């Protein structure tokens, strides 16, 4: 009996998915549990597995195509079974997304002759006036349409390292290119083709911009932020913290952890202090729901991580109960897998409060947008040496600005201010974190 392959909800907030690549081709035999394709969700790249046995008879959505959750994207059936009555369903299916192309500016005169359009990818062989180029080496392994079979991480590494993916021999399942192949190719000097030099003179009617399709993550970010900054009545509170003792505490802790090969950062100490302050002020460790406010006893801390095409917030569960070394190791591990888009749904959902740190990028102060239904988020600025007046004398101290965005339906001004006073006290006297 034929089995319909549906676009599955691979994350809690997923509404549609984009086909990264098929790992099986039409005509391949598959068994239940086999990985069929890689799907880009709003949070990560996930694997889609077969739910039946047979032959992959028909693929409705090609690489780059999108489909809503529930849509039929392929069919598994017996070799001679009639599947003529099965087609793509669910609405909004895009069979294959064309590569982003630069749109040529319109000519002032309508009768002006057309000019070739610039493209973000090399032009097809049939494109007019395309100069002849020598054939590139055949890819080591290709899926549908000649696409090189490679993991998402391998593709990103190839781009970052300047490696020509088409010339890399894959050692993964089915000849798939994986991380170790890219690293070996980098050592072997398999470089990507040099990009053409940009034109020195602007020519009328040449391409002036490029339209880049929104990823599933970027679409979700747009939707969620639209539900925050408008409907949520937000106000902001800022404190300027003396980080002198935090710097000293970090040096002391790292000296003790050195034999274990561990090290903590200033951000780790800030997160530990935030978790401790939230435990003392559950009215800020809260969420807004229609008809009630939910205050949490445990602190599940969301830590914003920037990735290639957006932002994701891994969650450190029970952050209040973890030591500084354990907290530091978990944040690093989650952030690393977040950048590889390998987090599981339970690892980026369920936060009760969030923290965003742009200090490492030199940002002195900023405001962050609340992630509903959470009631607050902290924006951590850069730690910098500044001259301040202490007891009538000008001294230089390491200072850090912290800004709290508050949902006024849950947190009043005085409530947020008292929470920040507690946090500031913990950072200016780190021993207080242990109380």
Enzyme catalytic residues: 408
Tokens (6 digits) for 427: 């950072």
Structure tokens at 343: 């987090």
Peptide bond into 390 cis (omega under 30): no
3-class SS of residue 138: coil
Tokens encoding 364: 């002195």
Residues 6 or more apart in contact with residue 18 via CB below 8 angstroms: 39, 40, 64, 65, 66, 97, 215, 216
Q: Label residues 37-70 b or e (16+ Cβ within 10 Å = b).
A: bbbbbbbbbbebebebebbbbbbbbbbbbbbebe
**DSSP one-letter code for 13:** T
Q: Around Cβ 32, how many Cβ atoms within 10 Å?
A: 12
33: alpha, beta or left? (left if phi > 0; alpha if psi -120 to 50)? left
Query: What single-letter DSSP state applies at residue 148?
Result: B
Contact at 8 Å (CB) between 83 and 67? no
Q: 173 — phi, psi (to 5°)?
A: -55, 130
Does an H or E element contain 288, and which? strand 286-289
- Cβ neighbours of residue 365 closer than 8 Å, sequence gap 6 or more: 238, 379, 381, 401, 403
C-alpha R_g of the chain: 26
Pairing type for strands 305-307 and 301-303 reads unpaired
d(CA 93, CA 60): 9
Alpha-carbon separation of residue 427 from 98, 208, 237, 335 (angstroms): 52, 50, 17, 23
**Phi, psi at 344, each rounded to 5°:** -85, 155
Residues 6+ positions from 333 with CB-CB distance below 8 Å: none
């Amino acid at each position: 009996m034929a089995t319909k392959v549906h676009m599955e909800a691979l994350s809690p907030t997923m509404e549609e998915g984009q086909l990264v690549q098929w790992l099986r081709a039409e005509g391949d035999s598959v068994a239940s549990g086999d990985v069929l394709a890689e799907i880009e969700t709003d949070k990560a790249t996930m694997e889609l597995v077969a739910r039946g046995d047979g032959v992959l008879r028909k693929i409705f959505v090609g690489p780059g195509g999108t489909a809503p959750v529930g849509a039929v994207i392929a069919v598994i059936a017996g070799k001679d079974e009639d599947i003529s009555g099965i087609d793509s369903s669910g609405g909004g299916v895009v069979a294959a997304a064309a590569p982003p192309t630069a749109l040529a500016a319109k000519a002032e005169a309508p009768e002006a002759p057309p000019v070739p359009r610039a493209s973000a990818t090399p032009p097809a062989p049939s494109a007019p006036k395309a100069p002849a180029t020598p054939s590139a080496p055949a890819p080591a392994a290709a899926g549908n349409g000649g696409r090189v079979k490679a993991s998402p991480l391998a593709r990103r590494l190839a781009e970052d390292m300047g490696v020509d993916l088409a010339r890399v021999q894959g050692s993964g399942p089915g000849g798939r290119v994986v991380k170790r192949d890219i690293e070996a190719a980098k050592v072997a000097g398999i470089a990507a083709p040099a990009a053409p030099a940009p034109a020195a003179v602007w020519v009328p009617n040449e391409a002036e911009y490029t339209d880049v399709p929104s990823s599933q993550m970027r679409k979700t970010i747009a939707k969620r932020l639209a539900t925050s900054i408008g409907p949520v009545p937000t106000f902001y509170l800022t404190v300027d913290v003396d980080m002198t003792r935090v710097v000293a505490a970090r040096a002391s802790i790292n000296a003790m952890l050195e034999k274990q090969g561990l090290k903590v950062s200033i951000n780790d100490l800030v997160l530990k202090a935030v978790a401790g302050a939230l435990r003392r002020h559950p009215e800020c460790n809260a969420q807004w729901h229609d008809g009630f406010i939910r205050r949490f006893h445990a602190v599940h801390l969301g830590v914003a991580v920037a990735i290639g095409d957006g932002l994701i917030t891994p969650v450190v569960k029970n952050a209040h109960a973890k030591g500084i070394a354990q907290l530091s190791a978990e944040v690093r591990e989650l952030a690393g897998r977040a950048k590889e888009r390998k987090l599981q749904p339970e690892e980026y959902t369920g936060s009760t409060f969030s923290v965003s740190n742009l200090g490492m990028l030199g940002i002195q102060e900023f405001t962050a947008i609340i992630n509903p239904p959470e009631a607050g988020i902290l924006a951590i600025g850069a730690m910098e040496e500044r001259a301040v007046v202490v007891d009538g004398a000008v001294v230089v101290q390491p200072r850090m600005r912290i800004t709290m965005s508050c949902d006024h339906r849950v947190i009043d001004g005085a409530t947020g201010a008292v929470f920040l006073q507690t946090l500031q006290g913990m950072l200016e006297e780190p021993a207080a974190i242990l109380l």
